Amino acid sequence: MALRRIKIFDTTLRDGEQSPGCSMHINEKIELALQLEKLGVDIIEAGFAASSPGDFDSVKVVAGLVKNSAVASLSRALVADIDKAYDAVKGAVSPRIHVFLATSPLHMQYKLKMSGEEVLRRIEESVKYAKSKLSDVEFSAEDASRSDRDFLKIALETAIKSGATVINIPDTVGYCTPGEMYDLIRFIRENVEGADRVDLSAHNHNDLGLAVANTLAMVEAGISQAECTVNGIGERAGNASLEEIVMGINTRPYLYNAETRINTKEIYKTCKLVSNIIGVNLHPTKPIVGANVFAHESGIHQHGVLAKKETYEILSPEAVGIPQNKIVLGKHSGKHAFSEHLTAMGYHDIGAEKIQELFDEFKRLCDIKKSVSNKDIEALLSNKKLESNLKYVLDNFVINCKKGNAYAAVSIKCGEEVRTAIQDGDGPIDSSFLAVDKIVGKSFVLYDYGVQSVGEGRDALGESYVRLALDGGESVIGRGVSTDVIESGILAYIDAVNKLLA
């Protein structure tokens, strides 16, 4: 029996970015969009074009670059919003406008301050207007899970008759249980006229930890599109996690009578990329991609796995693209072996020039570390991305510390010019950051700073991140990697400065 195809609608760039502290620079949005395309996502919701000029620009750029996925922009049920959304996505190979309006009594009374008749009229007018712009129009009934069913039925029928091609059923505040969401989809399929002519979609939030379970229940009930984010990031407790939905379906396809077109071997790389961009580490017990998912400490578990992996592993690390060490890389390894290892890790599209640069960095790292792991190589790749197209680049630094005070002399390249500043501070990191401020000639606000080891041992790489803002504006994440944690912190700070001044 042929399996039903479930379309994956990724909203990491829109709903995911709305999570506090998860804002992304436009270059990071482009990088992530291209990775989502490589992952095999069917629809990329690139942003909310009407929300800001920056969002409009990022949606427009992504729409022009992505070729193998549809690109959508969210839009309120307003003519001005729909015009902005259309202008942003019209250059896409497969553009979509995603219109939403709340249908629950709570939202209509207190947020919209609209009657039911006014809501129905607005749905009809906005969907028809969006349809006059594009053939692919999605309508979301915000807070559908808490809507009156009789009213929801009329609202969805209105949207379908007005030209909607996708009907999305959100559990906007993560209130419902899997059984309730299953029942709601069955009700819609059996009672809403025209429901068989459109894609029914799920959009679940994770306030009670049920977003993935609710989505899979809706898949079982007959939806054909699942909306989700990488690592489950998003408003409040987040959204349904893309990787968990996909591997849930992939592991039990005949239970759900479903499959996706996701290239699962790109999952780990995608999750790690999002983690790096927003500066939030993957938790060790994060399903599918956490460090502990394929680790076994219990003697009974170890014995079972050694006898047969399936005793305690329902999926393999290779299935989701978690790199496994196949060869040992060290200071005597050649460029060919290094290149082959990059390919084995899933990095297939790195040019010869970039491989040479990475190999040179790898060799320098081998002189410092006894052994180089896959995590070290991933950190090198991440660091190389940070170095491209930067206005300011770290040249050198010297730290002088004594109890209660520290002095940092930092030199930064700006084009062909090298600028140096000496600054005291409460410690090596504080004095270094202040020295960078003096060179740049601006005072930045540091919201957060953190450092973690990449790999194990005293010679492990240090990966730093900072959250920085300028003049009360939006904050950005900066990242840096080095065997010297002070250097990694300075690199992270300069990376954030470059983003803020871009």
Query: Do 192 and 145 fall within a single domain?
Result: yes
Query: Do 232 and 350 fall within a single domain?
Result: no
Contact between 478 and 468 under an 8 Å Cβ cutoff? The reply is: yes
Residues 208-249 have pLDDT tens digits of: 999 999 999 999 999 999 999 999 999 999 999 999 999 999
Predicted local confidence at residue 44, as pLDDT: 98
Query: Do 236 and 103 fall within a single domain?
Result: yes
Residue 301 belongs to some domain of the structure = no
Residues 419-432 have pLDDT tens digits of: 999 999 989 999 99
Query: Do 351 and 393 fall within a single domain?
Result: no
**At 271, which CATH number?**
3.20.20.70
Predicted local confidence at residue 327, as pLDDT: 46
Residue 283 belongs to some domain of the structure = no
The rounded distance, in Å, linking the Cα atoms of 178 and 184 is: 10
Query: Do 368 and 410 fall within a single domain?
Result: no
**Burial (0-12, 13-18, 19+ Cβ within 10 Å), 390:** middle
The rounded distance, in Å, linking the Cα atoms of 422 and 128 is: 62
Q: Count the domains in the chain.
A: 3
Q: What is the mean pLDDT of residues 386-415?
A: 84
Give the β-pairing of 392-402 and 258-259: unpaired
Residues 134-166 have pLDDT tens digits of: 999 999 999 999 999 999 999 999 999 999 999
Residue 452 belongs to some domain of the structure = yes
Predicted local confidence at residue 331, as pLDDT: 67
Query: Do 359 and 473 fall within a single domain?
Result: no
Query: Do 273 and 328 fall within a single domain?
Result: no
Query: Do 369 and 439 fall within a single domain?
Result: no
Predicted local confidence at residue 324, as pLDDT: 61
Residue 22, pLDDT > 70, answer yes
Contact between 447 and 468 under an 8 Å Cβ cutoff? The reply is: yes
Query: Do 400 and 350 fall within a single domain?
Result: no
57 or 360, which is more confident = 57
SS3 306: helix
| Percentage of the residues of the chain whose pLDDT score is greater than 90 | 67
The domain boundary residue, chosen from 386, 412, 437: 386
Domain ranges, residue 95: 4-278
Residue 338 belongs to some domain of the structure = yes
**At 436, which CATH number?**
3.30.160.270
Query: Do 394 and 256 fall within a single domain?
Result: no
